[in-house]
Chain A
């Protein structure tokens, strides 16, 4: 029994090493002197830690701008998702309107269609609307999502009808009910949806790559991909860029992982 426990825990820590070592290596190399990582055997820790790569990154490239772009876009995408998906998800769960269940089933079938199928015509639509190369164009696909609506609907189903009816009898408007009764009960799922939306927007690559050509409007992932093609040899600089890109999402995840993991299970086990 004792040997089994040792073996189990040893394997678990080896897997943890596999998961974390690349991230730890990134942080370590990001504070090495330029060129230090390109030697054999590969150094694991910097001899003289320095923040020169970070200052260089912000001084010589437009990293600050890309960081601001990504932050702004992720915040806006999260805001839209929290508005439109939550309203729709609640309505599909608790309000009555003609064709409700039929429309919802139609929405669910959309989950099997890969998003990339829509991208080419979506680019042409954006061109017609004049939003190519603008933040509006980047945001268009994240206004509403079937997954978001589904997530909120499943949670909203548990709101007791009597609570809503009582408010209606008291003469509260539907908007009022939504704000003062529904939203407070939905809080946990709002946190889940917000985390998903923020991370999704932050990490999105293909669509921003297609819709943005102007270098000044690029998001962090697109900029980092371009930068890595120009600076293939500058390992330390690139690792500083990766740290800047990853730090916000890793912090967000550590703060909100409870909600993120809850949503993941609600979305996939039942979906």
Chain B
């Protein structure tokens, strides 16, 4: 009995904090999303009314919400495969027996991951400068004309993808490297004796062996990329022509610029629902594949 009390003493502080500052707010957000909580309700709770599904219905009629949804989807569709391909390539090369200076290279690849997002976004804003940026200078070297990366609505999202891949590929690379260690060396040996080429071994041994890790990586990366916010906040302020307004950027502006907190809560829940649904789909697809 005494030991049970002691055990509760150990977990109670953390559980209380999580209950009060995470679980309670999540439930409250669901309730808020059915109210017209706005600047008047912030001042006086008597101004609060339940509006049922009105926020969600209004969301469907808000063009900027659809723009934000489309922009975020574009960022995910372009960024996630590119980022995972880059991580996979870096991990495979680094895992190769031919590679030298592995320790240094691994640290170098991982350095962008630990950097503070806002600070490196500021750097990239200048690297992507149309006239004085290093990116266009290098492209100019191979004869590609200057691109107005952050000023042209067609290029603004690809520019942010380039930045995001740079920032994140080291993270997944580490996880994939760990996955590579779990593939038995004997499999490669046996295949080599049977005369399998490097490409065949990659295709039939390495990639199938990595499948579970790649699934985890793709779920985590997708969830992370859907939460795009600081990049457009710092680099483009949602522009040009609203081409980089993301779901969270839209939520932030609705909530903390216009104080439509009920409406913004509905946006947050839509994001949650999308992430939840996509995670389930990915798990289903992988179940079918592995069977």
A complexed with B: yes
A residues neighboring B (CB under 8 Å): 4-5, 8-9, 11-13, 15-16, 18-23, 25-26, 29, 37-42, 83-85, 87-88, 90-92, 95-98, 100, 103, 107, 110, 112-114, 116-125, 127, 140-141, 143-146, 149, 173-175, 178, 199, 202-203, 205-206, 210, 220-222, 224-225, 228-229, 235, 238-239, 241-242, 245-246, 249-250, 252-254, 257, 260-261, 264-265, 268-269, 271
Which residues from chain A contact B94 at a C-beta distance below 8 Å? 12
A-B contact pairs, 23 of them (CB 8 A): A12-B93, A12-B105, A15-B105, A21-B134, A38-B132, A40-B132, A87-B14, A97-B7, A110-B22, A116-B229, A119-B268, A123-B256, A143-B14, A144-B13, A174-B6, A210-B256, A220-B116, A222-B118, A224-B119, A224-B122, A245-B116, A245-B118, A264-B175
A83 to B9, CA, bound (A): 13
Is A9 within 8 A of B98, CB to CB?
yes
**Minimum-distance CB pairs A-B, first 6:** A121-B28, A88-B14, A91-B10, A118-B25, A95-B7, A144-B14
Do A124 and B261 touch across chains, with their CB atoms under 8 A apart?
yes
Q: With A174-B6, A210-B256, A268-B175 in contact, do A116 and B227 touch (Cβ < 8 Å)?
A: yes
- Bound CA span A246–B121, Å: 12
**Does B131 touch A at the CB level, under 8 Å?**
yes
Q: Does B271 contact A (CB under 8 A)?
A: yes
Q: A118 contacts B171, CB within 8 Å?
A: no
B interface SS class: helix
Contact for B96 among A8, A175, A222, A245, CB less than 8 A: A8
A-B contacts, CB under 8 A, total: 274
Interface centre among A85, A103, A254, A264 (most CB of B within 10 A): A264
Find chain A residues with CB under 8 A from B112 CB.
Answer: 19, 22-23
B275 sits at the interface (CB 8 A): yes
B interface residues, how many (CB within 8 angstroms) = 92
Q: Determine which residue in A5, A90, A117 has the highest number of CB atoms from chain B within 10 A of its CB, and name it.
A: A117
Q: Is the CB of A25 within 8 A of B120?
A: no
Does any Cβ of A come within 8 Å of B238's Cβ? no
Given contacts A22-B127, A40-B131, contact A149 B14 (CB under 8 A): yes
Known: A178-B10, A254-B107. A22 touches B117 (CB 8 A): no
Among A107, A118, A205, A242, point to the contact of B122 (Cβ < 8 A). A242
B93: A residues at CB distance < 8 A = 8, 11-12, 15
Q: How far apart are B129's CB and chain A's nearest CB, in angstroms? A: 8
Q: Does B137 contact A (CB under 8 A)?
A: yes
Most buried by B among A4, A100, A269: A269
Which of A42, A121, A145 lies at the interface centre, i.e. has the most chain B CB atoms within 10 A of its CB?
A: A121
Q: Are A117 and B115 in contact (CB under 8 A)?
A: no
- Whether the pair B21, A141 counts as a contact (CB closer than 8 A) is yes
Contact B132 A37 (CB under 8 A): yes
